[in-house]
Amino acid sequence: MEARTVVFASAPAITAGVPQHKILDLKVMPTTAPQAPARKTNLPKKKLAGGDGGYVLEDVPHLTDFLPQLQSYPNPLQDHPAYSVVKQYFVNADDTVSKNIVVHENSARGTHFRRAGPRQRVYFQPDEVSAAIVTCGGLCPGLNTVIRELVCGLHDMYGVTNVVGIEGGYKGFYARNTVELTPRSVNGIHKRGGTVLGTSRGGQDTAKIVDSIQDRGINQVYIVGGDGTQKGAAVIHEEVRRRGLKCAVIGVPKTIDNDIAVIDKSFGFDTAVEEAQRAINAAHVEAESTENGIGVVKLMGRNSGFIAMHATLASRDVDCCLIPESPFFLEGKDGLLAFAERRLRDNGHMVIVLAEGAGQDLIAKGMPLADTHDASGNKHLLDVGLWLSHKIKEHFRKKPNFPISLKYIDPTYMIRAVPSNASDNVYCTLLAHSALHGAMAGYTGFVVAPVNGRHAYIPFYRITEKQNKVVITDRMWARVLCSTNQPCFLSPEDVENARQLDEEEPQIPLIEGQNSLVKASPMSMCNGHGHLCNGTTY
């Protein structure tokens, strides 16, 4: 494989003479004589720009990257009465959002994402827009709010009147009819749980979906779903790009577990934590009302324990919090059962909160498991709440002079089916508006979400490469342990493994196996004026 040098300009040249959507793809130039063609890889296409101090902009695709002759138009918001008094409403062309907000004195500037918001020029006229909205995956508070604000935002801010909903998830593109969405038809849906469009898992046929998009003349697709859904959205975007269609594909990330990487949080999470309080409060009332009462509450959290962790901190009534990221054990003087016995002797009652993915390895040791998965590829989990309740009862059954009363509460589907609260309603509104501003400005192939408090456009690959997890070597988890006064349960090896996982950060870019940017020598610049070189996206 030939050696390659990654070329990029210094920071001041990043926007010099370059349109705002053209902040450039990295130029990869051979440094030796051409050899045999390089083997094709399945790495996602990455649009990158670099600068002094280790600055890297992980940019998102733009329609003009593959349709360079597209015409742009003045943004109709400049004449909108609601925004006429807003100072500097349009986002500056070179505004970016830093991925890491806490730095040291000599830290590199690091990775940035393009800031979300309206641009001065748009690439769609209102009467040509045909937008489609689809919801996929599991339910989550706020889905209807996102739908409502996409429809109303397109209509009220940009004058778009042709918006349809795809019923039943991805396969609804070719297996179901569409439903017309207007501000009137979506009025009030934010007060309802679930999704008015329906949802499903799996069933994606990319070619059929894009055929439907092309046949219906759809040129903006808003896809609301979790990491699996966004992986599908990335494939749809690539097929749209391959066919050369003028169609923006935008993802709005959704997961009640809050396990999407990079972003601050996912919508519906605040509502889920708030609703979890009701279950924890019920468990606490039951536990303290009987002799040696134990309340066990199972919350959502397949691979990440964010709901359990935040609900525990918010409640202050929890005696033990168990999450997938932190292993625990039952037997022995430092095990969970011995701790439960001590806590009952001290307080007379206790509450245990656990995420659904916690302790699955312990369950696997005691019974044969069928390695089955759902349509989204998620492994089916056994009910850890029932299993733990059985183990606790079995332990105290051996102590006839120590009777207990255990109540098990599983509010899983009650939590995710409720309407979003005030905080999530505001959040969903901002997400929807940021998404449609990006689509109208011609950006595509991205998800929109806040990074360090500022909404940004994030490439699909960035939020699908790994899941966000609770860092058990972080101060937030330490606060939980201090709040509950529970054992850590961790061996030194567990702590070291957790620390190593925390330090593993995906390096961008990944070009021909190299894990870092290589600054080019002056002789390798494509011109002598310090301007960026239009190059190949890798």
Residue 37, judged by CB atoms within 10 A of its CB (0-12, 13-18, 19+), counts as: exposed
Annotated binding residue 1: no
Residue 227 annotated as binding site = yes
52 marked as binding residue: no
Would you say 101 is a known binding-site residue? no
Please give the Cα distance from 91 to 437 (Å, whole number).
10
Q: Which residue is it, tokens 């070597």?
A: 473
Q: Is 414 annotated as a binding residue?
A: yes
Does 228 belong to an annotated binding site? Answer: yes
Task: Reduce the DSSP state of residue 335 to 3 states and report it.
Answer: coil
Interatomic CA distance for residues 266 and 252, integer angstroms: 9
138 is in an annotated binding site: yes
Helix or strand or coil: residue 267?
A: strand
> Are 53 and 109 in contact, with CB atoms under 8 Å apart?
yes
137 annotated binding-site participant: no
How big, in percent rounded to 5, are the helix, strand and coil portions of the chain? Answer: 35, 20, 45
Between the CA atoms of 237, 242, 245 and 250, what dihedral angle is there, to the nearest 10 degrees? Answer: 10
Dist. CA 176–CA 209, nearest whole Å: 12
One-letter amino acid of 262 = V
356 is in an annotated binding site: yes
- Judge whether 410 is annotated as a binding position: no
In one-letter notation, the amino acid at residue 67 is L
From the centroid of its chain, how far is CA 150? 18
Report the b/e string of 143-168 with b at 16+ CB within 10 A.
Answer: bbbbbbbbbbbbbebbebebbbbbbb
Number of H helices, E strands in the chain: 14, 19
469 CB contacts (<8 Å, ≥6 apart)? 259, 303, 304, 324, 325, 501
Alpha-carbon distance of 346 to 366, in angstroms, equals 31
525 annotated among ligand-binding-site residues = no
- Say if residue 300 carries a ligand binding annotation: yes
Q: For the chain, what's the residue count?
A: 538
Q: What is the DSSP letter of 377?
A: S
Catalytic residue among 257, 270, 317, 424: 257
Cα separation of 302 and 376, whole Å?
Answer: 13
- Is 383 annotated as catalytic? no
The answer on whether 415 is annotated among ligand-binding residues is yes
* Residue 207 neighbours by CB under 8 Å, 6+ apart: 239
Which uninterrupted H or E stretch holds 20?
Answer: none
* 135 known member of a binding site: no
| Torsion angle of C-alpha atoms 62, 201, 130, 263, degrees rounded to 10 | -40
Q: Which residues are annotated as a binding site?
A: 138, 201-202, 226-229, 255-257, 300-302, 356, 413-416
Name the residues annotated as catalytic. Answer: 257
Q: Which residues are annotated as a binding site for substrate?
A: 255-257, 300-302, 356, 413-416
Q: Which residues are annotated as a binding site for Mg(2+)?
A: 227
Q: Which residues are annotated as a binding site for ATP?
A: 138, 201-202, 226-229
